[in-house]
Structure formats: C-alpha cells, structure tokens
A and B are shown apart, each in its own frame.
Chain A
Amino acid sequence: MAAGSTYTPIATTTLASAAASYTFSSIPSTYTDLVLVTNFGADTATYARCRINGDTGSNYSETSVGGNGSLAQSFRDSNVSNGAYITYNGYAGTNAGSAMYTLNFNNYSNTTTYKTILTREAAAASSAGATVSLWRSTAAINSIMLYMNSGNFAIGSTFTLYGIAAA
C-alpha cells in the first residue's frame, strides 16, 4: 500500500477581538482523524468546552487525570449537556499564549460508532493533564464549537484544525 502525505491544515484563525466562542463548521468527512490545536487565554477564570454538531443533549461524558502543582487528581462527568471539557484540570491564564490544548477526534466521520475525543492539556499557569471525552452519537462530526462557560477568549488566541488521512 502506498504512503501518502497528510496532516493537512483545514482551517485556522487568530482572534482579532475577544470572542465567547469559535466554531469550525462544514468540516469535510474526507479525513480519518481530526486534530484541533488551540492556544488561548481567557478574560475570566472559568472552563472552556467544545460542542459537537450543535448537540445540546445530555450526550457527553468524560474522564480526566491531571496535576495542578500540588495534587494529582482525577475527575469524571456523566450525561453532560453542555459539551466536552477542554480545560478540565485548570483554567487558562489571561494572556493569549498561556494555555495550549490538543484535541484528537479519531475516526470522526464514521456513522457507526460513538466518538471519543482525546485531549492533552497544557495550561502553564494552572495545570497539566489528559482528558478523554465521549460523545454518544453515531453522526459524523461536521462542526466543532469551542466556547467559554463565561467571558471570552482573549485577543490573539489561535485555533487550528488539521485533517489526517490514513492510507
């Protein structure tokens, strides 16, 4: 089987003004996995989440492990309606470059199984961790909205979506 180049940028943005959310929409189903890389700050010490395909049903759950500088800890949420956590283990700081999160959406376009999201958290001011989230839907993922529970993403925050196509 042939090797092929992949890891393709689908869309990227740098916020010119503070915003409460950012949405990747009309995501093509032509890749195998998606990787979303975001580097952001927030004007309010609160959590950020991502909502898939606009789903506001109680279809999300997650398990997380992380450290906050003094404790290693693990958390769980079940039957959540407001989306999957991005920042489960700690808040981003106010500077746009203060926290980096990498979200992996493996096999995102299949229409047979639920979707598992694997997130690596690196918030230098507060925590480091890993979170696995489940979206109990067999729909292909075609939009991802990242949003703050309250407040805004800071000016200069970046959001980039990549597509990886398997041979």
Chain B
Amino acid sequence: MIGAITAGLFSTGVAVSTTSYESIATVTVGAGNATSIDFTSIAGTYKHLQLRCYLRNTTALSSLYMNFNSDTGANYARHRLSGDGSTASAAAATSSTFMGLGDIPTTASTFYTSVIDILDYSNTSKNKTVRNLYGYDLNGSGEAGIRSNLWASTSAVTSISVTLGSNQFSQYSQIALYGIKG
C-alpha cells in the first residue's frame, strides 16, 4: 500500500527515565513505499526533539520537506551551507510554505542521512528554530551540508510531517523521533 505512515505517540506522560535522551517513536517504510512520514500527538514533556533520518527516494532526486502542526502557510524561512564535491555554496529562502532539509537520492541501496534538532519545541513564547546536519554520497556525486530553518510560530510543536513533495519514500527509509530532557 502506498500512503502516509503515521506514528501515534503518548499524549500524556512518558516512561520514567534516569537518562535524558528517550526514543519516542519510529517509522520504517515498507515495501509499498510512502508519501509522507508523520508524527502526531507529540507530548510537550521534553526540552528538545531530535529526528534521526535514513531516507531514499523512489522517483527522482528531490527535496525533503517538513511542516509542523499541519501549517502550510508562508511561515517558514531557511539558510543552508552545502558542498557538491567541487563547490561550496550558500542559499536562503523566506516566506516559504515548508522547511527544506536537503535532497534525497534514488540510487539503489544508497540513503541520505540527517540528524535534525528541533530546539525548545514546546515553548509558547517564541518562534521555533530547526538545525540539521545532512548528506548523501553516491560514489561520484553527492551533497553534504548544514541547514537552519525557522517556523515563525509561537505554538508548541505537536505534530511533524515529512514529505518528498509529489515523490515517495522507498522501502527501508526510516525516521526515528527522540526526546531530550532539559
């Protein structure tokens, strides 16, 4: 089946832990591929969130997008520094309808990886900043870089949707969501 994959989370409370880094939920794409990977009902009990990604595209090299709380308004902005193996480049976007997290390749067996930090995600007094380290290498082409994204909203982040636009995530793609206590 091709479609969105959603991981439901506990909306109240988390397991008591003596450590500060906890696994919340994981989505792994099956043989049917997926149009989006979604995390919903995220509890506000952590200080920060981290997404650890391992992704491949079924169709064509294309950008990875992320939205919070189903907001598709022009409330996002971003900067990037990246290299393609020969040139380092930088770019920015404002009034965007999504966050951009890098390109996802299609080459068989070869996956993009990223570590995405969502800082102070449950604070209701300030906008939200996201940073990520990311890259993919195809033994002759690739991209490595760092990005910052802004969501101009004071709402707590309670859901996360990650997509490839009109393309799909391939089998074995995986995103794991972790909570970091303050």
Contact = CB atoms under 8 A, between A and B. Distances in A.
Contacts of B176: 32-33, 164, 166-167
Contacts of B137: 61-63, 116, 132-134
A76 B88 CA distance: 12
Interface string A106-131: 11001011101010100000000011
Interface residues of B, number: 54
A64 to B, nearest CB: 6
A74 B10 contact: no
Nearest to B142: A63
Contacts of B37: none
A86 B144 CA distance: 14
Nearest to A72: B88
A74 B146 CA distance: 13
A6 B19 contact: yes
B178 interface: yes
Interface in A55-104: 61-67, 72-76, 78-79, 104
Nearest to B23: A167
Given A1-B9, A63-B84, A63-B135, A167 B144 contact: no
B15 interface: yes
A39 B80 CA distance: 26
A5 B22 CA distance: 4
Main secondary structure of the interface of A (DSSP, over half): strand
Contacts of A133: 137
B35 interface: no
B22 A120 contact: no
Nearest to A130: B144
Interface in A127-167: 130-134, 136, 138, 164-167
Contacts of B100: none
Given A32-B26, A63-B135, A118-B113, A74 B84 contact: yes
A1 B8 contact: yes
B144 A78 contact: no
Nearest to A74: B83
Contacts of A4: 15, 17, 22-23
A16 interface: no
B136 interface: yes
A18 B11 CA distance: 51
Contact of A79 (B25, B112, B139): B139
B86 interface: yes
Contacts of B172: 107, 110, 112-113
Contact of B136 (A32, A33, A110, A132): A132
Given A63-B83, A120-B133, A164-B178, A78 B139 contact: yes
Contacts of B114: 118
Given A66-B83, A164-B52, A166-B174, 18 more contacts: A3-B17, A3-B179, A4-B17, A6-B22, A6-B23, A7-B178, A63-B141, A65-B83, A74-B86, A75-B83, A106-B54, A113-B56, A116-B54, A116-B111, A130-B135, A130-B144, A133-B137, A134-B110
7 contacts: A3-B15, A4-B23, A64-B85, A65-B88, A104-B113, A112-B172, A132-B142
For the complex of A and B, list the 5 residue pairs with the smallest distance between their C-beta atoms, beginning with the closest: A74-B83, A132-B135, A65-B83, A76-B85, A63-B142
